Structure 1
Amino acid sequence: MEEWLVELVTKAVKETLAQRTGLKIPVAVSARHVHLSKQHFEMLFGEGYELKKKKELMGGQFAAEECVTVVGKKLSAIENVRIVGPLRKFTQVEVSRTDAVKLGLDPPVRESGKIEGSAPITIVGPKGAVSLNEGCIIASRHIHMSLEDAERFGVSDNQKVSVKVFGERGGILHNVQVRVDKAFTLEMHIDTDEANALGITSGSLVEILK
């Protein structure tokens, strides 16, 4: 199936789910991953190498076939960390707090892209390695919404909301950032620590508290 058609079908499915579930929001659990600049990508994989798509994600992003190893202090490392494409202007590593402990790091909780003053980390690929003075963060939990979704939920871009999680280990997550863009489909992103603590899996439904 053509890539553009896969993306269109995926978007239609998510929009249908949003309509069917009313004001509930589907969750995607985000595992550790890496965003790379072109310069750093070529240092890791070699000049002329191109990322291979494994799975389409929201807003033109994709999970790549390629993975790297990330290394923290005292050479503690985590292997097979997925690259998320396309390439960016900067390199960023997103981990959970549990990952950070294993790596011997203390990264800040940040919105994606805000890496100034974040934790140092080394990335190792098949052709080389890149050592960053900053770039490792724990991504803040957030909800992606289209313009229509934001209107339906009565929220605005960058607003912080509280979210109710259902189920046996359910609870309330505060300080959830709303991100609004015409390219987004309705989805809340949390990391693996948050998901495990509350018994959430990808596809679980949550609700914004008013």
Structure 2
Amino acid sequence: MNILEQKDLINCITELVVNEMAAHGIGIETKRSLVPVSISARHLHLNKEDLEVLFGSNHGLTKVKNISQPGQFAAEEKVTLVGPKGEIKNVRVLGPLRKETQVEISTTDARALGIKPVIRESANLKETPGLTLVGPKGILTLDKGCIVAERHIHMTPIDGLNYDVTDGERVSVKIKGHRGGIMDNVVVRIREDYTLDMHIDVDEANAFGISNGDMVEIVR
């Protein structure tokens, strides 16, 4: 199933859910605009094979704490990122394991490492730069997979209705405060197992003076 088919399926399921709720007299919340923010520090996701190269055969991730999205967690495992110009130590692995290894850094990190910052949605790794990962048991050189994650908002289908947005839509977000402003090109991601949350990186948070848990407003 391609991306367009997935989005059509999500919208179809959402419509069916709304109609079923209406048939049972269950109302939908009034339109909302405020969204909580979580700041994503540099991190990486590993597949099973790469985890074992870095941490040893049959190694499993050790959960430290849950993070904002259901089923995802910060792990105890950390690696060193090595680029052409520098390295960054103690970069945390997030779980669970994925099908493809992905490293998420900020533009500032990319420059420190000496690689070109490429802004992408998660899992879109074609023609992205690689780098070297150093773990306690091994070294792994990636030929791709390092991205600056596109800022995005996680929502459930019901959230999408309440905020009047669709999966894949790009919106603008207003930030209040002394360094506030408008953040454009924020991607909306809608899935049943998501929790309402906007994700930005450290560079973006510092530029706008945002802290974890702050509320921002979708203004289109």
TM-score, normalised on structure 1? 0.88
- 2:61 is matched with 51
Which of residues 193, 196, 202 in structure 1 aligns to 2:212? 202
Which of residues 38, 55, 73 in structure 2 aligns to 1:62? 73
Q: How many residues align?
A: 189
Q: How far has the Cα of 1:148 moved from its partner?
A: 0.9
In the alignment, the residues of structure 2 paired with residue 103 and residue 81 of structure 1 have an alpha-carbon distance, to the nearest angstrom, of 13
In the alignment, the residues of structure 1 paired with residue 185 and residue 209 of structure 2 have an alpha-carbon distance, to the nearest angstrom, of 19
String of CA shifts for 1:106-143, please: whole Å, max 9, x gaps.
03100000111101111110000110111100000000
- 1:9 is matched with none
Give runs of ≥4 in structure 1 deviating > 2 Å.
none
3-state SS, counterpart of residue 137 of structure 2: coil
- 1:10 is matched with none
Max Rg structure? 2
More strand by share: 1
Contact 2:41 2:202 in 1 (8 A): yes
Q: What is the 5 A alignment of 1:17-166?
A: 23-57=33-67, 58-74=69-85, 76-166=86-176
String of CA shifts for 1:134-183, please: whole Å, max 9, x gaps.
11000000000011110000000000000001111000000000000111
Q: What is the 5 A alignment of 1:8-19?
A: none
3-state SS, counterpart of residue 60 of structure 1: coil
Runs of at least 5 residues in structure 1 that lack an aligned partner in the other structure: 1-18
3-state SS, counterpart of residue 98 of structure 1: helix
In the alignment, the residues of structure 2 paired with residue 55 and residue 104 of structure 1 have an alpha-carbon distance, to the nearest angstrom, of 31
In the alignment, the residues of structure 2 paired with residue 203 and residue 69 of structure 1 have an alpha-carbon distance, to the nearest angstrom, of 29
- 1:11 is matched with none
- 2:195 is matched with 185
3-state SS, counterpart of residue 144 of structure 2: strand
CA RMSD of aligned residues (A): 1.1
String of CA shifts for 1:54-75, please: whole Å, max 9, x gaps.
111213111101111011114x
- 1:167 is matched with 177
In the alignment, the residues of structure 1 paired with residue 209 and residue 182 of structure 2 have an alpha-carbon distance, to the nearest angstrom, of 12
Runs of at least 5 residues in structure 2 that lack an aligned partner in the other structure: 1-28
Q: How far has the Cα of 1:50 moved from its partner?
A: 1.2
Contact 2:156 2:192 in 1 (8 A): yes
In the alignment, the residues of structure 2 paired with residue 41 and residue 49 of structure 1 have an alpha-carbon distance, to the nearest angstrom, of 7
In the alignment, the residues of structure 1 paired with residue 117 and residue 102 of structure 2 have an alpha-carbon distance, to the nearest angstrom, of 12
TM-score, normalised on structure 2? 0.84
Q: How far has the Cα of 1:101 moved from its partner?
A: 0.6
Contact 2:111 2:117 in 1 (8 A): no
Q: How far has the Cα of 1:23 moved from its partner?
A: 2.7
